[in-house]
Structure formats: structure tokens, C-alpha cells
Chains A and B, each alone.
Chain A
């Protein structure tokens, strides 16, 4: 991957990659919010390749966010939610297996939310939070991790003089990048992003997008987005969902230029949704 770094910086547009290994493997997954009465996801199968950005698109209520939240088992927190069939494998491991700890899973599959949600603590404490809950106490380690993460999130220059200030004093875009920094501080394998730019203005959005392309080098990213333009700008692969089903999945260029299914074409060209 390292040989591609130069290319990436000069070429923000997604490019075809050499064969890369699969990180996430979704196999015929079915999901229900109400004890299995109605299925929100109806048998989704797809694979997410390593160190690429994979975008999930589709109209509201199509199940894309649900799938995303299945990937780090955030849906476990809903009492009535239930996986009805199939399996999800991350790094080859079935994440619903008995010996998988959801907490350990979430440490390695980070998540960035739609609405930026830094804790009401200082910037430093926010970024250090993940490490601290893992039991890291040494100040030098924390300092180093905070600096590295803030730099990776392109926030270091703006925040280095005010690390002890409350995170809630930052602007919206900065707060969202802080959330990203917080997520990458624990070096997860995968980062899930749930419409990370929907609450941001265009300038902040551009910065976050730029950041995602940067992060692709080190992380595998799955992003849910409402904006087709965003998907086409940043993602390597795109999956189109409709009513709980995966309609089409392929390289972004192909989905946007030459979709094989009519529904996809309609959606992308704005005829519905």
C-alpha cells in the first residue's frame, strides 16, 4: 500500500486498486428491530476490501445505517433487535460468535456519528478517552497518541494551543474531526462513518472528505452517505441499498457511470429518493 501514497496525495479521485485483501465479509445477513417480526435487512451479502473507502448509499430507511451499526454490533444495545440469519465476518472472524466480545470488537471497529458528539471534556481528554478506558495511564504515551491522532485528523495546528479547553468550544467541522481523531487514537482496523458530513457546512465537509482520503492509507473505511457527489468523490466502492436489500455493489466509477440495475440509475440520476 505504501507505494500508493504518492499517487493518493496527487490523485484524490478513487482509482482502481491492485487486488486487496478482504476485511469485512457480510454473508446473507438478515436483521430485525422487532424480535424478527419484520426484517429491516433482507439478506445482504457483500465484502469490504482493505484500505479502501466503501460507501453505502440509498434513500432514507433503506437499511444502510442499520448495516453499518451491525458491523460493530452497536445494535446489540437495542433490546428488541435481532440478527435473523447470516453472518458477518471481520478479519475472518464471525463477530456474532460466542467467544467474541462486543467491547473488544468495538475497540477495533471504530465509529464516527452523523452528529458530531465530542464529550463535554477537554480536547485532550476526548482524544485520550479510548486509550484511557483501555487502561493506558502513562502520560507520555497518551501525549504521543493525542498528538499523532490530532495530526492524522488534520486538527493539530488548530488545537495544539488549546488542548485543555473544552471540546465544545470548537466549530462544528473541528468537532467532527475531533471525533475522528478520537476514533483513530485507538488505531482501529476499520472506521465506520455514519453520514459524517450531514451536519457540516460545505467548507468543513471538504476538509473532512480530504481527511478520509488521507486516512484510507491506514484504515479501512465504510461510510454511509446521503450525498451521491460525496460518494463519487471519496469512495472506491459503492453499494446501493433499497428497502433493506442490496441492489447493486461495485467499484464507484462503475456504479456512477454505468449502473447495471435500473433502480440504481434512477436513484443516482435523482429520479427518486
Chain B
């Protein structure tokens, strides 16, 4: 560097008038490194590097699309195979019978509940007396064994009389030392609802216990008498419940027969499929081995295994296997018809009102379930009679079964069912309820900050609300589980709030809880975007309106809001997208019950637990094996989520772009 400068200094100055013979300036670009006919310059390399990174974004999007599609779409043919196997083996048919049986079982459970509740209601003293007596009995066995023996050995007379009085008194004292709390604890297993032991029950139990001691530790007849009296008093109910129980037996038996039969068929079919798979693989391997001229031992080894596999392959006569199923199902119509008429008759014998309101409610629920069961049975009867094991299952059947299937059941030893509907409705329900809370709040806040708040106030509020956006969802989820769930349930039982649909809530984790937390997450998103949209409304509109003598509120509602409506709708949609895609909160607080919520309850549906598309992935990823049908099903769900988010996003981008133009 220094040398150059010195050299330069030594160059004598060129006289001004003398024409210079310096070469004309060249504007040619610097020559870069020539490589394979390309002129590579630093700038080119840098540009290429940066550009490559930019294209990575497109690539990522494409890659995600392709990967999800590849992993997910393999699901459809796979599911088709599974469905057709279920059909050939008769599992599908069995499932239909099971469906009926499930309906019946739900009904039976309700009736049982009502029965127990009624018994407790009518005979709580008697029942607790009996159980208390058993407690006392154990005590007597422990402490008074010798006394009793002595007493029994005594001859009749005054002495025995006196001893009996003393024994009675001793037992009474011993029994009274046991505290009520302790007794409640010991009875808790049998009578969990018991809050207090009535003095009568205690007295009765004591009498029975004394009886027991004086009779040389023989259970007194009075105990049996009480039990008999209870069952007699419960007579009508008892008969009805027995009738309901016996009415379901034939259906259970049918289901059991079908299960046994189809499970066996299924096992054989699966085994055969495996064998034929390995036969194919071995044949392929043998061909390759021949081609590569592998040593003869290898070839013989393969041939041996092939022979073995071929040997274990059974020619199955599916027709023969399915015949018992058809035979069993013949009686189905008769069985269910009897069931329906029996149930109706049994319910007719029950009174419509019980003394205990809860019992009445439970019985009414059971009656309603009975009505539903009749509908189910009528539909299934048709289905079952139309069922044919050899009807083909095609791809669109499999697709329909996935997208419109009303059941998502995995990890069962019987058959996995992948129906999107429960998850889809769950996601949709949670998202819409949460928007119901978030939208008014967020838009209201956006209007306030943009139109009414002072500048300084707005400068405090805006970061505050943006701050909320950063609260991690898992923290909110934890807050929901530990704090809000309990509070919500408690509030829902308060009589002041009983007018709210769905209250009181019975499930701790439910749609409403998830929706409240999600609303809190969505509100900042909607707020920020809506505030931007409001901000984009030209100030001239506001000024014109105010100059006409409109109040600020009138200006905001009649001019600013309509002018920014497309931006606000986009904000709401993006908020919706955020809520649908949220995972942790719903995973932790929505209850994770993969069942289509009961919309028949009207708005009360918000009190139910649901599963969503996002939470199913987070919950089940751990239990799937790579490449299995379940794995592919999860990717299908991911694909649906991805599509939803893309549609929402691109629509909103279009709306927002149009606005800014």
C-alpha cells in the first residue's frame, strides 16, 4: 500500500495543456471467477445465497404440503383395506349390534342409578342401620367375646337377667365411644352420600348389635327382616328393574356370539394377509438372489422359508366363515322387537313422579334414552338387514368414513375407527364460543383505543394488550386446570347464575372453560388487527362527520366502523384461525372426549367436554408406530388443519391487500 503511494508520488505532474494518453475509462464490470462458462462475481454469489434462502420459504411451504399429503393420503387406501376387512369378517355388523347394546346399557345405567337413589332416599336410616350394625358387630366380636361366652354359660334367672343388662350397657358404652366421624369414614365405601348418621339409625343398629351379642353372636332375624322389607317396599321398582335387566340379555348374548365369531374370522384373515405379504416379499427376494447369483445356501434358505410360509397359508372360504354370523343375525329382528316392547312395558309400570326430585329426573332421562334407543334400533334394523359381507368398499367410502365418521376411537383391541366429525365439531364449537366472547371485547377495545382514548392512554393500553399475546398457552392452560376450572364449576352451581344455559356444569373440563381461555388469547390478535384496520380509515371521514355535529360515538359507529369493515372481518377470521390452531389450552382444559357434543341440549352444549383436531394430534402422537394407519390418520387431521389455516390466511391477505391499495 505504502509502496503504491510512493510510486504515485514520484509520477511527474502532467502539464495541463498536453493531451493525456491515459486510456479511456472503462465501464466494463470487474471480471469475476470464470467457472463452467459462468461469470461468478462476489455480488452474484451473495445474491444467489440470499435468494436461495428466500426460496426456502416457498420450499418449506411446498415441502410441508407434500409431506402432509404423502403421509396423510396413504391413509385413505389403508383405511379402505381396514374397513373392507371389517366388513368381510363381520366386525362391521357386530359394531352395529354393539351400537344398539351401548344405547341399552346407557339406559340401564340410568335406571340403576335411579333405583339406588330411591332406595337411599326411602330407607337411608334402615340401610345405614344395617351397615352400622355390621360395624358394631365387628367391635363386639373383638371386645366382648369372653363376656358373651360367660353370659351364654349362665343359667336362666335373675343373675342372667342382671348380666344381660350389664352386657347391654357395656356394649352401648363401647359403641358410643366411636365418634360419628369415624363411623362415617367406615361407611363411606358403602354409603358415599351419607353426611350424617341419624340417632334413630344409631339406636336401631345398637339394638341389633345387643341382640346379636345376647343371641350368642347369631345374626338377629331383624336384619333379614329389614332387608326383606326394603325390597318389598321397593316392589314395583324392583320388578321393573329386573324386567329391564332381563330384557337386554338376548341382545347381549347375540353381541357376545357375534364378537366371538368375528374376532376369530378377523384373526385368520389378518394372519393370512401377513403370510401372503411375506410370501410376496420372499418371492421378490428369491428373484433378486437368483439375479445376483447369491450362494446356494442363501437361496435354499429363502426357498425353505417360502415353502413354510406357503404351508401356513390357509385357503379361506370366507363364505363358510361368515355363515354363522348370518345365522346368528337372523334372530336379531325378533330380539330387538321384544326388547323394545319389554322396555316400554317396564317403563309403563314405573310411576311418573317420585318423591325425590333427582330420582324423577334420572328416570325421565332414562325414558328419553328409551325413546332414542327405539329410534336407533329402527335404523340399525334396516342397516343390519341390508348388510352384506361381500359388498365392495371403495376409496370414496373410506374418505366418507373419515370425513363424516361420527366416531374416533383408537387404541381399542377391537377395531380402530377414525372419524373426523367429533374432532371437527369440537374444534368448531370451541372456536365459535370463544369468538363469541373475544369479538365484542376486542372490537370494543379497538374502537375505544382508536377513537376515544387519549393518546397517552392509548400508548399504555396498546402495549398492554400486545403483552397478553405473549402469555404462553401452556401457562394459560395450567391456570385453567388449577384455578379457573374449579371457579367456573363453583359459579355454575350458584343459584344466581342458573339462568345461563348449560349451568350448572357437571364436567370440570369443558367447552366453556376452553373457550374463555381461548377468547383471552384471541382478543389481542383481533384487537391489534382491528385497530390497524380502524387506523387505516382516512382521518378526513372522521373530520367530516364531526364537523357535521356528530358525536364521537356516532362517528365511530356510523362512519369509521363501516369504512373499515372488511379489515375487521379479516381480523376476526385471523382470530378464528388462531383459535382453531391453538393446541395446549384445548389439550389441557377441553376435556378430551372424542364424541360429537350433544347439540340437542341447545346452548347447554358448552358444558360438555370435547376433543379437537389439534389436541388429538398432541395426545396421540406418542402411541402410534411410524407408518401405521393411526400415524397416517393423525397426518390426515394435520392436513385438514393446514388446509383450513391456508384458506383463512389467503382470504384475509387478499382482503387486507385490497384495503391497503
Contact = CB atoms under 8 A, between A and B. Distances in A.
- Touching in the complex, A and B, CB below 8 A? yes
A79 B455 CA distance: 8
Contacts of A121: 562
B541 interface: yes
A263 to B, nearest CB: 31
A103 B549 contact: yes
Rank and list the top 8 A-B pairs by shortest CB-CB distance, nearest first.
A107-B549, A117-B540, A111-B547, A106-B549, A133-B550, A130-B548, A117-B544, A133-B554
A183 B550 CA distance: 12
Nearest to B557: A133
A104 B563 CA distance: 25
Interface centre among A79, A106, A110, A134 (most CB of B within 10 A): A106
Contact of A106 (B454, B541, B548, B563): B548
A72 B547 contact: yes
A72 B562 CA distance: 26
B627 interface: no
Contact of B546 (A74, A79, A134, A183): A74
Contacts of A179: 544
B549 A130 contact: yes
Interface string A101-120: 00111111011010101111
A135 to B, nearest CB: 10
Contacts of A132: 558
10 contacts: A103-B550, A105-B549, A106-B549, A107-B548, A110-B548, A113-B543, A117-B540, A117-B543, A119-B563, A130-B550
B263 to A, nearest CB: 68
A93 B546 CA distance: 21
A240 interface: no
Interface string B501-541: 00000000000000000000000000000000000001011
A117 B541 contact: yes
B549 A186 contact: yes
Contacts of A249: none
B559 interface: yes
A120 to B, nearest CB: 5
A77 interface: yes
Interface string A136-148: 0000000000000
A182 interface: yes
Interface majority SS (helix, strand, loop, mixed), chain B? helix
A155 to B, nearest CB: 17
B583 to A, nearest CB: 40
Interface in B547-575: 547-551, 554, 558-559, 562-563
Contacts of A111: 544, 547
A111 B549 CA distance: 10
Given A119-B544, A130-B550, A133-B550, 7 more contacts: A74-B543, A74-B547, A107-B549, A113-B543, A117-B541, A117-B543, A133-B551
Contact of A120 (B546, B548, B554, B562): B562
Nearest to B553: A133
Contact of B558 (A77, A133, A182): A133
Given A115-B540, A133-B554, A79 B454 contact: yes
A242 interface: no
A74 B546 CA distance: 8
A129 interface: yes
A74 B454 CA distance: 16
Contacts of B540: 113, 115, 117
B541 A133 contact: no
A118 B550 CA distance: 15
Given A79-B454, A113-B544, A120 B549 contact: no
Interface in A177-227: 179, 182-183, 186
A113 B541 CA distance: 10
Nearest to B548: A130
A130 B559 CA distance: 12
B558 A129 contact: yes
Contacts, number: 67
Interface residues of B, number: 19
Contact of B548 (A77, A79, A115, A183): A183
Contacts of A182: 544, 548
Nearest to B539: A117
Contacts of B432: none
Contacts of A134: 549
Contacts of A108: 549
B545 interface: yes
Nearest to B537: A120
A72 B546 CA distance: 10
B551 A103 contact: yes
A117 B550 CA distance: 15
Contacts of B538: 117
A264 B240 CA distance: 109
A134 B558 CA distance: 13
A143 to B, nearest CB: 19
Interface string A66-80: 000000101001010
Nearest to A134: B549
Contacts of A183: 547-548
B547 A106 contact: yes
Contacts of B551: 103, 133
A77 B552 CA distance: 10
Q: Which of A74, A115, A119 neighbours the largest number of chain B CB atoms within 10 Å of its CB?
A: A119
Contacts of A130: 548-550
- Residue with the greatest number of chain A CB neighbours at <10 A, chosen from B454, B549, B550, B558: B549
A111 B541 CA distance: 12
Most buried by A among B541, B548, B559, B563: B548
Contacts of B563: 119-120
Interface string A41-78: 00000000000000000000000000000001010010
B588 to A, nearest CB: 45
A6 B218 CA distance: 128
Nearest to B555: A133
Contacts of A110: 547-548
A179 B544 CA distance: 9
Which of A77, A79, A110, A118 has its CB near the most chain B CB atoms (within 10 A)?
A77
Nearest to B564: A120
Contacts of B544: 111, 113, 117-119, 179, 182
Nearest to A116: B540
Contacts of A133: 545, 548-551, 554, 558
A115 B416 CA distance: 68
Contacts of B454: 79
A107 B549 CA distance: 4
Nearest to A120: B563
Nearest to B563: A120
Contacts of A104: 549
B546 A77 contact: yes
Interface in B444-461: 454-455
A115 B540 CA distance: 8
Interface centre among B544, B545, B554, B558 (most CB of A within 10 A): B544
Contacts of B546: 74, 77, 106
